[in-house]
C-alpha cells in the first residue's frame, strides 16, 4: 500500500511528490510528479470502471489498485470540472469542500459526481495526506459581470445560477504562463488569446494573466464549433427542433452535444485528422465543416482583440491546435493585415496535469 512522506521535512526542503487524479465516469487517469522539478515519476490510467465484464466494479476498487502500485506521495491534486461561484482557486479538500462540490454537481451532472468518486476513494485509502481540488472553471472567475450575465431575466441568474462559467481553465492558464515564458515577458504586461482546440474547443481572452472572456458558457456547449458539439446557436433553433421532431429535452441535448459540430456538418467524422484527409481529396462537406470551424475561431479572435484593446500573441494548444497546421494557417491567414504590430503566433502543448500538480504544490507549500 501507498507510503506517506513526512510532510514537515518535505515542506522545509520544498520537495514533494504530487499525484494528480483525473477521475471520469468510467476511468481514472493519474500522473505522479516530482516537484518542483516537474519530472514525471509515473503515469497511467485505469479504464472501464463499472462497465459490463470489467473486473473493476467501482472507483474505490480502481483507486485501491492504482494506489497499491504507486511509490510514496506527499499530496494529491484532483481535477474537478465545475466549481461554480463557490470556488475561485484551488482549495484543500475537507468535508465542507466535498459538500460544496456536491452542490455544484447540478451544474455538471456528468462530471462532478465522477470527480467526487475519485476524491472519496482517495480519502478512504489515504486519510492523512493533503488533497487539493483544482477547478476547470476557476481561471474564469475574473470575468466581469457584463461578460458572464446572459440577456435573460436577471432572477434566473440568482435562482438557478444561469450565467457563463467557462471551462478548460487549467489549460488556458497553463499556456498563458508558458506563452509569457516563451516571449520573455511578464504575464502582467501581456494581452493574449488562447485557443484550446481539442475534441472540445474554447477560446479565452487573457489580459494581465486574467481571463476576461471565454467562449464556453453555462455548459461546454457554447462557442466554437467542436468535434461533436454545435457551439453558438440561435436558442430558438432548440425549441423549433423539439416541436418539429417531437423530441424531449434529453434527446435535444444529445443531438446538440453528440451529433453536431464537425461530425454533424461533415457526416464523416469528429476527428480533424480524418476530416482534413477528406478535405484534401475534395470532399465538399469536409471542406464546409473545416471552414465553419476556422471562421468561428477567426470571429472570436477579432472580437477578443477588440475587448483586449490590442493583442500581443495568439496561442494554439490541444490536439488540433498543436498538430493541425492546416487549421492554424487558415485561422491566421490575413487575420492581422490591418494591425501595425503583428501579434506573435505560438504553439504550446497544454499540460493540465502539470498545472494541477503545480497548483497543489503551491497551495501546500504556502
What is the contact surface with ligand ADP in residues (CB under 6 A)?
Answer: 198-200, 227, 271-273, 318-320, 323-324
Min separation Cβ 196 and ligand ADP, Å: 8
* Inter-residue contact 56 to 69 (CB < 8 Å): no
Min separation Cβ 276 and ligand ADP, Å: 8
Q: Which three cell numbers stand for residue 290?
A: 473545416
Min separation Cβ 152 and ligand ADP, Å: 29
**DSSP H or E run through 317:** strand 313-317
Cell 444561469, residue located: 162
Question: Which residue in the list 128, 136, 234, 271 is annotated as catalytic?
Answer: 136
- Centre a 10 Å sphere on the Cβ of residue 208 and count the other Cβ atoms it contains: 13
How far apart CA 79 and CA 91 sit, in angstroms, is 11
Task: Output the CA–CA distances (angstroms, integers) from residue 263 to 62, 193, 268, 270, 344, in the order listed.
Answer: 33, 26, 6, 4, 31
Residue with Cβ nearer ligand ADP (305 or 350): 350
Residue with Cβ nearer ligand ADP (67 or 201): 201
* Inter-residue contact 18 to 76 (CB < 8 Å): yes
Please confirm, yes or no, whether 213 is among the known catalytic residues: no
Min separation Cβ 281 and ligand ADP, Å: 16
Residue with Cβ nearer ligand ADP (183 or 326): 326
How far apart CA 222 and CA 218 sit, in angstroms, is 8
Residue with Cβ nearer ligand ADP (141 or 196): 196
Residue with Cβ nearer ligand ADP (27 or 323): 323
Q: Kindly report the backbone phi and psi dihedral angles of residue 209, in degrees, each rounded to the nearest multiple of 5, phi listed first.
A: 80, 0
Min separation Cβ 243 and ligand ADP, Å: 33
* Inter-residue contact 176 to 194 (CB < 8 Å): yes
Close Cβ partners of 297 (under 8 Å, ≥ 6 residues apart): 195, 197, 203, 224, 331
| DSSP code of residue 4 | B
Residue with Cβ nearer ligand ADP (161 or 319): 319
Task: Output the CA–CA distances (angstroms, integers) from residue 88 to 84, 100, 165, in the order listed.
Answer: 8, 13, 11
How far apart CA 321 and CA 347 sit, in angstroms, is 7
| Alpha carbon of residue 329 to chain centroid | 24
| DSSP code of residue 5 | P
How far apart CA 170 and CA 343 sit, in angstroms, is 23
Min separation Cβ 105 and ligand ADP, Å: 22
In the complex, residue closest to ligand ADP by CB:
319
Residue with Cβ nearer ligand ADP (50 or 319): 319
How far apart CA 352 and CA 77 sit, in angstroms, is 11
Min separation Cβ 289 and ligand ADP, Å: 11
The residues carrying an active-site annotation are 136
Amino acid at each position: 500500500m501507498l507510503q506517506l512522506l513526512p510532510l514537515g521535512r518535505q515542506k522545509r526542503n520544498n520537495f514533494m511528490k504530487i499525484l494528480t487524479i483525473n477521475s471520469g465516469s468510467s476511468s481514472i487517469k493519474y500522473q505522479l510528479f516530482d516537484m518542483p522539478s516537474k519530472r514525471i515519476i509515473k503515469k497511467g490510467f485505469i479504464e472501464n470502471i463499472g462497465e459490463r465484464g470489467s473486473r473493476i466494479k467501482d472507483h474505490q476498487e480502481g483507486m485501491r489498485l492504482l494506489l497499491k502500485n504507486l511509490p510514496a506521495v506527499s499530496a494529491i491534486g484532483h481535477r474537478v470540472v465545475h466549481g461554480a461561484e463557490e470556488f475561485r482557486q484551488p482549495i484543500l479538500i475537507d468535508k465542507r469542500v466535498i459538500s460544496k462540490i456536491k452542490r455544484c454537481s447540478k451544474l455538471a451532472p456528468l462530471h462532478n459526481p465522477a470527480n467526487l468518486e475519485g476524491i472519496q476513494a482517495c480519502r478512504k485509502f489515504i486519510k492523512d495526506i493533503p488533497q487539493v481540488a483544482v477547478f476547470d472553471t476557476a481561471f474564469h472567475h475574473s470575468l466581469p459581470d457584463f461578460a458572464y450575465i446572459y440577456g435573460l431575466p436577471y432572477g434566473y441568474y440568482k435562482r438557478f445560477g444561469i450565467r457563463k462559467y467557462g471551462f478548460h481553465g487549467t489549460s488556458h492558464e497553463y499556456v498563458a504562463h508558458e506563452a509569457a515564458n516563451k516571449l520573455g515577458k511578464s504575464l502582467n504586461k501581456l494581452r493574449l488569446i488562447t485557443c484550446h482546440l481539442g475534441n472540445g474547443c474554447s477560446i479565452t481572452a487573457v489580459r494581465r494573466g486574467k481571463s476576461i472572456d471565454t467562449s464556453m458558457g453555462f455548459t461546454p456547449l457554447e462557442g466554437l464549433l467542436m468535434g461533436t458539439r454545435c457551439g453558438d446557436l440561435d436558442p430558438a433553433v432548440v425549441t423549433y427542433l423539439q416541436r418539429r421532431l417531437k423530441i424531449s429535452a434529453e434527446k435535444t441535448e444529445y443531438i446538440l452535444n453528440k451529433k453536431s459540430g464537425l461530425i454533424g456538418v461533415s457526416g464523416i467524422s469528429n476527428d480533424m485528422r480524418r476530416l482534413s484527409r477528406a478535405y484534401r481529396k475534395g470532399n465538399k462537406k469536409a471542406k464546409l465543416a473545416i471552414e465553419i470551424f476556422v471562421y468561428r475561431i477567426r470571429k472570436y479572435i477579432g472580437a477578443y482583440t477588440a475587448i483586449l484593446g490590442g493583442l500581443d500573441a495568439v496561442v494554439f494548444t490541444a490536439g488540433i491546435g498543436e498538430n493541425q497546421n492546416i487549421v492554424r494557417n487558415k485561422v491566421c491567414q490575413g487575420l492581422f493585415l490591418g494591425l501595425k504590430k503583428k501579434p506573435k503566433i505560438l504553439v504550446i502543448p497544454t499540460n493540465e496535469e502539470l498545472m494541477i500538480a503545480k497548483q497543489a504544490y503551491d497551495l501546500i507549500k504556502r
